[in-house]
Amino acid sequence: MSHTLEWQVVEGKPAITQVAGLTGMTQVRAWLEDVRPQLTAALREYGAIYLRGLPMATIEDFAQIRDVLISERTPYREKTTPRSRLGDDVFSSTDLPAAQSIRMHNENSYTLTFPGRLLFGCLVAPSQGGATPVADCRKVLDALPDQVVEKIRTAGWRLSRSYSEHISTDWQTAFATDDVDEVARYCADNLIGHQWYDDGTLKTSQIRPGIITHPSSGEEVWFNHLLFWNEWALEEDLREALVDEFGRDGLPFNTEFGDGDALSNEDLQAIQAAYDAATVRETWQPGDVMLVDNILTAHGRDPFRGDRKIVVAMGDPVELSECRPTVEPAPAFA
């Protein structure tokens, strides 16, 4: 039996469809298989879609939904923030403190292969806040000043990292190995500049395009972590403390334009304003599932209170080379 989905599109909220009448995961899987072409079409149009009313209550339920909506799993590469592996390639969305907001970003925008789809599921909804906001990266690109767009189009962006067990992810966790030769091989294969220091510190730097084209739709999008990891995006007190302790070159993350030029405060404010204008959010309810096209849509996290258990799975990998990057990826050093 074919079902026709109706999407509720309200200003400030993602596209939502209400699901009714499904009582178990066998019915859920059959329903998802039936409506999958409609979900794909809606995802292409909206970039992110909410399914509300599914009888999903466990990690195992979520994994079954994942296996219908995502055809191939994607590993979590070049780890940057803490998250828990919950089994069967399901992860916590993040383990960062509840009071901390997470700025908008495209998952793994700095890697040469990244997930094309993300799936979020709500097992426990927080009592306050904690939404997973999303922003249409087509709209973000359209809203940015011409000079920022042109700079990124021609120079790309540069990500520099310092790995430390004290203030960020250590290199063993980031690269999932304790073998320095394996790290060197990974960096060489993935166009990442890297240097070891006498104290055992590892630093890496890589140039990536900040504008790419969706391989299926042919639409250009803003796709990067340029704002997310820039030093001036940190809270002022935290930035000053980190710079005092470790120096600017020792910050766990920093970004610049690909040619080494720094972002101005005006640039940062313009990028943030473009994200803000394109951002929509919905309050999580238990059983909610959100499917995200990771190229068309950036995501983040609002601060929250109370218990919150949002799980995530990544898949349908996309090669950067398939996305007509405006700048070729390359190793670099700040």
Measured from the Cβ of residue 27, the count of other Cβ atoms closer than 10 Å reads: 13
pLDDT tens-digit series, residues 321-331? 999 999 999 99
Q: Long-range CB contacts (< 8 A, 24+ apart) of 20-26?
A: 20/53, 22/53, 22/54, 22/55, 23/55, 24/55, 25/55, 25/56, 25/61, 25/64
How high is the pLDDT of residue 204?
A: 95
DSSP state of 48: E
pLDDT band at 154, cuts 50/70/90? very high
51 vs 290: CA distance, rounded Å: 6
In the structure encoding, which two tokens stand for residue 61, read together? Answer: 């339920």
Does residue 258 carry a pLDDT above 90? yes
Let me know: does 280 contact 13? Beta carbons within 8 Å: yes
Three-state DSSP class for residue 245:
helix
| Average pLDDT in the chain | 92
One DSSP character per residue, 163-221 reads E-TTTS--HHHHHT-S-HHHHHHHHHHTT-EEEE-TTS-EEEEEEE-SEEE-TTT--EE
45 vs 207: CA distance, rounded Å: 30
How high is the pLDDT of residue 247?
A: 76
Three-state DSSP class for residue 235:
coil
Does residue 118 carry a pLDDT above 50? yes
Helix axes of 146-155 and 265-278: crossing angle, nearest 10 degrees: 100
Report the pLDDT averaged over residues 20-36: 95
Domain 139-272+326-331 belongs in CATH node 3.60.130.10:
yes
> Domain-by-domain residue ranges, the chain?
15-136+279-321, 139-272+326-331
pTM: 0.93
Let me know: does 81 contact 169? Beta carbons within 8 Å: yes
pLDDT band at 334, cuts 50/70/90? very low
Top CATH class of 15-136+279-321 equals alpha beta
